[in-house]
Chains A and B, each alone.
Chain A
Amino acid sequence: MIDPEQIRDRILGALPGAAVEVRDMTGTADHYEVRVVAKAFEGCSAVERHRMVYSAVQDVIGGALHALSMKTLAPGE
Protein backbone atom coordinates (compact mmCIF):
# COMPACT_ATOMS: atom_id res chain seq x y z
CA MET A 1 0.00 0.00 0.00
CA ILE A 2 1.10 3.52 -0.72
CA ASP A 3 -0.37 6.96 -0.08
CA PRO A 4 -1.57 8.98 -3.07
CA GLU A 5 0.67 11.85 -1.90
CA GLN A 6 3.74 9.63 -2.26
CA ILE A 7 2.79 8.86 -5.85
CA ARG A 8 2.15 12.52 -6.64
CA ASP A 9 5.45 13.57 -5.05
CA ARG A 10 7.39 11.01 -7.09
CA ILE A 11 5.78 12.10 -10.35
CA LEU A 12 6.35 15.77 -9.54
CA GLY A 13 9.97 14.98 -8.71
CA ALA A 14 10.46 13.48 -12.16
CA LEU A 15 8.26 15.95 -14.02
CA PRO A 16 8.56 19.31 -12.24
CA GLY A 17 5.65 21.63 -12.88
CA ALA A 18 3.32 18.87 -14.02
CA ALA A 19 -0.34 18.86 -13.04
CA VAL A 20 -0.91 15.55 -11.29
CA GLU A 21 -4.20 14.05 -10.12
CA VAL A 22 -4.12 10.75 -8.27
CA ARG A 23 -7.13 8.57 -7.64
CA ASP A 24 -7.36 5.31 -5.71
CA MET A 25 -9.24 3.01 -8.11
CA THR A 26 -10.14 0.28 -5.67
CA GLY A 27 -9.98 1.83 -2.20
CA THR A 28 -7.12 -0.53 -1.38
CA ALA A 29 -4.27 1.99 -1.84
CA ASP A 30 -2.45 -0.22 -4.35
CA HIS A 31 -4.34 0.37 -7.62
CA TYR A 32 -4.11 4.00 -8.64
CA GLU A 33 -5.17 6.07 -11.58
CA VAL A 34 -3.21 9.20 -12.42
CA ARG A 35 -3.81 12.03 -14.82
CA VAL A 36 -0.61 13.85 -15.62
CA VAL A 37 -0.35 17.00 -17.72
CA ALA A 38 3.28 17.86 -18.37
CA LYS A 39 5.19 20.04 -20.78
CA ALA A 40 7.84 17.32 -20.89
CA PHE A 41 5.35 15.11 -22.77
CA GLU A 42 5.33 17.39 -25.81
CA GLY A 43 6.55 15.50 -28.85
CA CYS A 44 6.60 12.18 -26.99
CA SER A 45 4.64 9.06 -27.89
CA ALA A 46 2.22 7.49 -25.42
CA VAL A 47 4.73 4.72 -24.72
CA GLU A 48 7.48 7.27 -23.97
CA ARG A 49 5.15 9.26 -21.70
CA HIS A 50 4.09 6.18 -19.77
CA ARG A 51 7.73 5.13 -19.39
CA MET A 52 8.52 8.57 -17.92
CA VAL A 53 5.79 8.15 -15.31
CA TYR A 54 6.74 4.54 -14.61
CA SER A 55 10.36 5.53 -14.05
CA ALA A 56 9.19 8.04 -11.44
CA VAL A 57 7.58 5.22 -9.44
CA GLN A 58 10.02 2.46 -10.32
CA ASP A 59 10.92 1.84 -6.67
CA VAL A 60 7.31 0.94 -5.79
CA ILE A 61 5.70 -0.37 -8.98
CA GLY A 62 5.14 -4.11 -8.73
CA GLY A 63 5.58 -3.82 -4.97
CA ALA A 64 3.51 -1.46 -2.82
CA LEU A 65 1.98 -0.10 -6.01
CA HIS A 66 0.31 -2.97 -7.79
CA ALA A 67 -1.06 -1.09 -10.78
CA LEU A 68 -0.97 2.41 -12.18
CA SER A 69 -3.46 3.35 -14.83
CA MET A 70 -2.52 6.60 -16.48
CA LYS A 71 -3.62 9.36 -18.76
CA THR A 72 -0.69 11.41 -19.99
CA LEU A 73 -1.27 14.74 -21.71
CA ALA A 74 0.81 17.66 -22.88
CA PRO A 75 -0.63 21.10 -22.09
CA GLY A 76 -3.43 21.95 -24.50
CA GLU A 77 -4.23 18.34 -25.41
Chain B
Amino acid sequence: MARQVMEEIKKEVGENSVLIYMKGTREMPQCGFSAAAIEVLSSYGVPFKDVNVLVDQEKWAAVKVFSQWPTIPQVYIGGKFVGGCDILREMHAKGEIAPLIQSAMPDKR
Protein backbone atom coordinates (compact mmCIF):
# COMPACT_ATOMS: atom_id res chain seq x y z
CA MET B 1 0.00 0.00 0.00
CA ALA B 2 1.25 3.46 -0.83
CA ARG B 3 2.44 5.51 2.04
CA GLN B 4 -0.03 8.15 3.20
CA VAL B 5 2.55 10.75 4.16
CA MET B 6 0.11 13.67 4.33
CA GLU B 7 -1.98 11.67 6.80
CA GLU B 8 1.16 10.96 8.84
CA ILE B 9 1.88 14.67 9.04
CA LYS B 10 -1.70 15.52 9.96
CA LYS B 11 -1.49 12.93 12.75
CA GLU B 12 1.83 14.29 14.04
CA VAL B 13 0.46 17.82 14.04
CA GLY B 14 -2.66 16.72 15.89
CA GLU B 15 -0.95 14.52 18.45
CA ASN B 16 1.96 16.72 19.49
CA SER B 17 1.31 19.94 21.39
CA VAL B 18 4.67 21.29 20.26
CA LEU B 19 6.21 19.92 17.09
CA ILE B 20 9.12 20.90 14.89
CA TYR B 21 10.07 19.66 11.43
CA MET B 22 13.80 20.27 11.26
CA LYS B 23 17.10 19.36 9.66
CA GLY B 24 18.84 17.03 12.08
CA THR B 25 17.73 16.26 15.60
CA ARG B 26 17.33 18.39 18.69
CA GLU B 27 20.59 16.90 19.99
CA MET B 28 22.38 17.50 16.70
CA PRO B 29 20.76 20.08 14.44
CA GLN B 30 22.23 20.08 10.91
CA CYS B 31 21.33 23.65 10.02
CA GLY B 32 21.71 26.97 11.83
CA PHE B 33 18.03 27.85 11.45
CA SER B 34 16.92 24.54 12.92
CA ALA B 35 19.42 24.98 15.76
CA ALA B 36 18.06 28.45 16.51
CA ALA B 37 14.48 27.17 16.56
CA ILE B 38 15.45 24.33 18.91
CA GLU B 39 17.12 26.84 21.22
CA VAL B 40 13.87 28.83 21.44
CA LEU B 41 11.65 25.78 21.97
CA SER B 42 14.01 24.28 24.57
CA SER B 43 13.87 27.48 26.61
CA TYR B 44 10.25 26.74 27.57
CA GLY B 45 11.10 23.47 29.30
CA VAL B 46 8.12 21.62 27.86
CA PRO B 47 8.21 18.35 25.94
CA PHE B 48 8.22 18.68 22.18
CA LYS B 49 8.59 16.36 19.24
CA ASP B 50 11.31 16.82 16.65
CA VAL B 51 11.01 15.27 13.20
CA ASN B 52 14.18 15.07 11.13
CA VAL B 53 13.30 15.64 7.47
CA LEU B 54 16.83 14.84 6.33
CA VAL B 55 16.20 11.14 6.92
CA ASP B 56 12.78 11.20 5.23
CA GLN B 57 12.83 12.84 1.80
CA GLU B 58 9.19 12.04 1.17
CA LYS B 59 8.03 13.73 4.35
CA TRP B 60 10.36 16.67 3.65
CA ALA B 61 8.60 17.29 0.33
CA ALA B 62 5.14 16.67 1.79
CA VAL B 63 5.45 18.96 4.78
CA LYS B 64 6.27 21.90 2.49
CA VAL B 65 2.97 21.33 0.72
CA PHE B 66 1.07 20.62 3.92
CA SER B 67 2.19 23.87 5.55
CA GLN B 68 2.36 25.89 2.30
CA TRP B 69 5.84 26.82 3.47
CA PRO B 70 8.93 26.15 1.33
CA THR B 71 11.61 25.95 4.02
CA ILE B 72 12.63 24.00 7.13
CA PRO B 73 12.32 24.37 10.13
CA GLN B 74 8.58 24.51 10.59
CA VAL B 75 6.99 24.79 14.01
CA TYR B 76 3.50 23.76 15.08
CA ILE B 77 2.03 24.60 18.48
CA GLY B 78 -1.37 23.31 19.51
CA GLY B 79 -1.95 21.95 16.01
CA LYS B 80 -1.46 25.37 14.42
CA PHE B 81 1.35 26.38 12.09
CA VAL B 82 3.45 29.04 13.81
CA GLY B 83 6.09 29.62 11.15
CA GLY B 84 9.78 29.13 10.56
CA CYS B 85 12.81 30.25 12.48
CA ASP B 86 12.39 34.01 11.91
CA ILE B 87 8.78 34.13 13.07
CA LEU B 88 9.46 31.85 16.03
CA ARG B 89 12.32 34.09 17.19
CA GLU B 90 10.30 37.27 16.67
CA MET B 91 7.32 35.90 18.60
CA HIS B 92 9.63 34.58 21.31
CA ALA B 93 11.18 38.05 21.71
CA LYS B 94 7.71 39.59 21.98
CA GLY B 95 6.58 37.02 24.57
CA GLU B 96 3.97 35.57 22.24
CA ILE B 97 5.10 31.94 22.35
CA ALA B 98 4.55 31.25 26.06
CA PRO B 99 0.75 31.74 25.95
CA LEU B 100 0.51 29.55 22.84
CA ILE B 101 2.42 26.76 24.56
CA GLN B 102 0.45 27.19 27.75
CA SER B 103 -2.89 26.74 26.02
CA ALA B 104 -1.54 23.84 23.96
CA MET B 105 -0.36 21.78 26.94
CA PRO B 106 -2.95 19.07 27.72
CA ASP B 107 -2.57 19.38 31.51
CA LYS B 108 -3.12 23.15 31.46
CA ARG B 109 -6.36 23.18 29.49
Contacts and interface: CB of A to CB of B under 8 A. Distances in A.
Contacts, number: 33
Contacts of B85: 69
A62 B71 contact: yes
Given A47-B87, A71-B86, A58 B33 contact: no
A50 B33 contact: no
Interface string A50-77: 1100100010011000011111000000
A70 B86 contact: yes
A76 to B, nearest CB: 17
Given A67-B33, A69-B33, A50 B86 contact: yes
Interface magnitude class on chain B: 10 to 19
Interface magnitude class on chain A: 10 to 19
7 contacts: A50-B69, A50-B87, A54-B70, A58-B70, A61-B71, A68-B71, A70-B86
Chain B interface main SS type: mixed
Nearest to B88: A46
B42 to A, nearest CB: 20
Interface of B: 31, 33, 64, 68-71, 81-87, 90-91
B84 A50 contact: yes
B90 A46 contact: yes
